[in-house]
Chain A
Amino acid sequence: MDDQTRSASQWAPKESRPPPVSATGIAGWLRANLFSSWLNTGLTLLSLLLIYYSVPPFLDWAILSATFEGASREDCDMAGACWPIVGVRWKQLIYGFYPEVEHWRAVLAFALLLVALYFGLYDKAPGRKYGLWFVCAYPFIAYGLLYGGFGGLEYVESPKWGGLLLTLAMGVTGIAVSIPFGIVLALGRRSDLPAISMLCAVFIEFIRGVPLVTLLFFGNVMLPLFLPEGMNIDNYLRVVIAVCLFASAYMAEVIRGGLQAIPKGQYEAAAALGLGYWRMMAFIILPQALRISIPGIVNTSIGLYKDTTLVSLVGLFDLLGMARAINADAKWMGLEIELYAFIAILFFITCFAMSRYSLWLEQRLARGERR
């Protein structure tokens, strides 16, 4: 036998040969990924058919036959999309009725938001120690800028806010408030003190049992009826509080799920070392529970961000509300699709960014912990 003679005398490894052609190159890839079985071949062909019937007509509508220049609906030939509506009205879609000379304040607030996100979300940011102080100060800076009314800044009341500005303000506030509140509620619901756990459970179940629209109507229409004469809470504030309460309840349940996944041994080991409740939670339990909850937290955040479009039902002009207002203009009637497509792109960019960040964070935190 060949093998035996080889092992008996001097053994040398066999020469490596390149793999067969059928396993490499384009043909190999196609075979492995698209035509590996009859079912996959069928699905591949079906997908090709779907692409053939949907993509070319869409491109034709969006680009080839579309009109890009014009001042009103009359300039569009209606063979394709009528993009001038976005070109003419984009400022309203971004800023709402925020006075044009004050737009720089919104832009500055947005730029500072990016800085705050950089320090808040990227743990290796240089100078993060000071950056985090900036993150804490950011809500005050941003709302100070947007509202104004001090130091020469003209006061801009919230009904004038709109478009992307309003959507972002509500989304960022909602997410930033709901995570810490959610943590507190989740810990409260698991508390050993019956009064606290009951209170948190009732709050969570009540909020989750009611549609967001109901809360918004309650905050916007009914709350003023209960308040004493002359007392008036800002319209935007009422809505944002409702959004925050709603999101907190959902966050709490996501985080509670993470807390439940932590083995009992972790609590016992922390307790045996003499760590009290708060330190145990802060250093041992929450870091692990929140890591497990990242997909759920981001999921809830994205959901909340998109749910803010419901405020258009209570008379606020967020992106969706603004689009509907523009559509009501006789000059541009009947062009919903173009506006909604534009809004969809704006939403997609922000939501996709959140989703990517969550993936990145998960991988990063998983480092060194693989078993």
Chain B
Amino acid sequence: MNDQPFAVEMRGVNKWFGTFHVLKDIDLQVARGERIVICGPSGSGKSTLVRCINRLEEHQEGDIVVDGIALTNDLKNIDQIRSEVGMVFQSFNLFPHLTVLENCTLAPIWVRKLPKMEADKLAMSLLERVKIPEQAEKYPGQLSGGQQQRVAIARALAMQPRIMLFDEPTSALDPEMIKEVLDVMVDLAESGMTMLCVTHEMGFARQVADRIIFMDEGEIVEQNAPEEFFNNPQNDRTKLFLSQILAH
């Protein structure tokens, strides 16, 4: 499995919501350790693309291979992929009835079968990594948005995933909290994690991305290394998008 060259491979992926064609012939290869930022206007299908990778959305045509495992209707494969792929959501989606620590240990204990002691230790080390170990016994509702999102990152990391998906992780945050979350993500990127981030934080993209993908109308319009992407966009649609988000 580990000699698979790609962390994620999508070939000819198509998806419809009812009659609406959200993903059109997506071909994408993500190398191990590669950091990809996906951007594009709303409704362009970028979230759906990321959500197809761990089967939160089901694609109707084409092949998706994650970490050497083919994503099919086989529940066993889906479970295996989900335990290898961590995900961070725009709205955090922490479990409000569990403490921060319990949020981070539940899946390791019940899916990875880690003994509770070890799971606690792992969770605490991750909470330290996202710089909120002192909040471990609190409930999510008692934390600020930025803290909640950092807990969500720690929770995903607690499964020791090989790939991390971020679906607009800073879009629901107040401006002064965005930085604390991005800092954690930069730290994670520097550790060599394979990452796919849907985000509009272009500073972050410039700093850590190996490749930026621009999507519109369900298609990958353009993809390139950050320098090329920002300084020398090829497609008119990309130019328009960049002029709009970088204008101010």
Contacts and interface: CB of A to CB of B under 8 A. Distances in A.
Nearest to B99: A368
Given A369-B139, A369-B141, A274 B159 contact: yes
Given A265-B89, A265-B91, A274 B82 contact: yes
B17 interface: no
A269 B96 contact: no
A356 to B, nearest CB: 23
Contacts of A21: none
A371 B85 CA distance: 30
Interface string A263-282: 10110111111111001000
Nearest to B142: A368
B139 A271 contact: no
A365 B141 CA distance: 13
B97 A291 contact: yes
A279 B141 CA distance: 23
A284 B94 CA distance: 10
Contacts of A365: 97
Interface in A254-309: 263, 265-266, 268-276, 279, 283-284, 287-288, 291
Given A283-B106, A368-B141, A369-B139, A275 B111 contact: yes
A273 B155 contact: yes
Given A368-B138, A368-B142, A274 B95 contact: no
Interface in B43-67: 54-56
A265 B110 contact: no
Contacts of B146: none
B79 A265 contact: no
A370 interface: yes
A193 to B, nearest CB: 13
Interface in B63-109: 79, 82-83, 85-87, 89, 91, 93-97, 99, 106-107
B203 to A, nearest CB: 27
Given A265-B93, A266-B95, A288-B97, A271 B111 contact: no
Given A272-B56, A273-B159, A369-B139, A279 B110 contact: yes
A272 B82 CA distance: 6
Identify the interface centre among B91, B95, B139, B141: most chain A CB within 10 Å of its CB: B95
B93 A269 contact: yes
A271 B141 contact: no
A269 B85 CA distance: 12
Contacts of A288: 95-97
A275 B96 contact: no
Contacts, number: 70
A272 B54 contact: yes
B111 to A, nearest CB: 4
A273 B141 contact: no
Nearest to A277: B75
A269 B93 CA distance: 6
Contact of A368 (B86, B87, B93, B139): B139
Contacts of B139: 368-369
A214 to B, nearest CB: 40
Contacts of B97: 287-288, 291, 365, 369
Contacts of A263: 93
Nearest to B57: A268
A269 to B, nearest CB: 4
Contact of A272 (B87, B91, B99, B106): B87
B155 to A, nearest CB: 7
A343 B19 CA distance: 63
Contacts of B155: 273
A268 B106 contact: no
Contacts of B85: 272
Interface in A324-367: 365
A283 B110 CA distance: 10
A211 to B, nearest CB: 38
Contacts of A266: 93, 95
Given A279-B110, A368-B138, A274 B83 contact: yes
Nearest to A367: B139
A276 to B, nearest CB: 6
Given A269-B87, A271-B54, A272-B82, 16 more contacts: A263-B93, A265-B93, A269-B89, A269-B93, A269-B95, A271-B56, A272-B86, A273-B106, A273-B155, A274-B79, A274-B82, A279-B110, A288-B95, A368-B138, A368-B139, A370-B142
5 nearest A-B pairs in the assembled complex, by CB-CB distance: A274-B83, A269-B93, A265-B93, A273-B107, A272-B87
Interface of A: 263, 265-266, 268-276, 279, 283-284, 287-288, 291, 365, 368-371
30 contacts: A268-B89, A269-B87, A269-B94, A269-B95, A269-B152, A271-B54, A271-B82, A272-B82, A272-B85, A273-B107, A273-B111, A274-B79, A274-B159, A275-B110, A275-B111, A279-B111, A283-B110, A284-B95, A287-B97, A288-B95, A288-B96, A291-B97, A368-B99, A368-B138, A368-B139, A368-B142, A369-B96, A369-B139, A370-B141, A371-B141
